[in-house]
Amino acid sequence: MSWGTLAGEQKVDTEIEAKPRAHPRGMRFQGVNALVTGAGRGFGSLIATALADEGANVVVAYNTSKDGAEKLAQQIRSTGRKSMTAKVDITKWPEVKSMTEKVWNEFGPIDLLVNNSGDVSNKQMSWRQITEEAIDQTLAVDIKGTLFMLHEVGSKMLERKSGTIVNVASNVIVTGSPRAPQYAASKYGVIGLTKSYALAFSPWVRVNAACPGYMDTAATTSRADWTPQRRKWIVDHTALKRIGKPEHIVPVVLFLASDDSIHMTGNIVIADGGFSMPGA
């Protein structure tokens, strides 16, 4: 049995040649149809905007942030790109299936998927506060939701023998999380999904993961445990002596999404200013 059969359940008898897309300088995503989950606000919104700035047509997927999603889609359309919103609760497989079909029919085939949606259990300040409800919610969004999106959108990419997927995980895969162990477990799960689907969809669809550390966002800084003392401790233990801003991490996602990473799949890129410094 060949490696191709073992990995992607397809027999590949000849070596596959990488064919980077031709594009004008600074327009790595010209003509690319991208779908970003959780794009109605925050980090997902910045990713979608950056993709559009480099030429992508963008599906702004959201669950609760309807106003933000519609505003962003209008903003993208004003630049001459295509954009539409797509409401989906990624924890519900039937919704993911129907959303995927709708996007394919109304927007066109998706070339790039960014699985940005995640649940960080931000109301939980200690492992002592863990509840079964919190565990179920985090695992449902981060693992089930990511899996459903990978499975549905990735399967269609595989049929076309073309596509790129970027999952957003976290540096907790290295550091752990005494605050919310279920969050660390869920992001370990995302890495498992990244590697598994990288093999399942090979050699046609690349799947990689970006792993940010602490980010200077409202979701972090509004937490009850985010004190000046804790911020100082984190900065002191970060090699680059700063808390990352979302705009520092967006380029990492775009790198994995573009042909700049054309010979990478199943990879994990940690961007946390050297806080975790994982070994090889």
Binning the chain into helix, strand and coil, the percentages to the nearest 5 are 45, 15, 40
Average pLDDT estimate for 169-178: 93
pLDDT higher than 80, residue 18? no
- CATH at 52: 3.40.50.720
How many domains are there within the chain?
1
Residue 213 and residue 271 in contact, taking contact as beta carbons nearer than 8 Å: yes
Residue 205 and residue 167 in contact, taking contact as beta carbons nearer than 8 Å: no
Cβ contacts of 142 within 8 Å, gap of 6 or more: 118, 119, 183, 186, 187, 189, 190
Map tokens 């064919």 to a residue.
19
What's residue 251's pLDDT? 97
- The whole domain housing 46 covers 30-271
Residue 81 placed within a domain: yes
Residue 89 placed within a domain: yes
Residue 6 placed within a domain: no
pTM: 0.91
pLDDT band at 9 (very low <50, low <70, confident <90, very high): low
Q: What is the pLDDT of residues 45-78, one digit of tens each?
A: 999 999 999 999 999 999 999 999 999 999 999 9
Residue 16 placed within a domain: no
Cβ contacts of 76 within 8 Å, gap of 6 or more: 48, 49, 52, 58, 60, 82, 83
Residue 19 placed within a domain: no
- Is the sign of the CA dihedral 250, 94, 142, 7 positive or negative? negative
Q: What is the mean pLDDT of the chain?
A: 92
Q: What is the dihedral of CA 86, 142, 36, 223, to 10 degrees?
A: 100
User: Which residues are designated catalytic?
Assistant: 183
Residue 33's DSSP bridge partners are 57
Q: What is the pLDDT of residues 104-154, one digit of tens each?
A: 999 999 999 999 998 877 788 888 889 999 999 999 999 999 999 999 999
Residue 13 placed within a domain: no
What's residue 280's pLDDT? 63
Map tokens 């999380």 to a residue.
177
Residue 260 placed within a domain: yes
Residue 21 placed within a domain: no
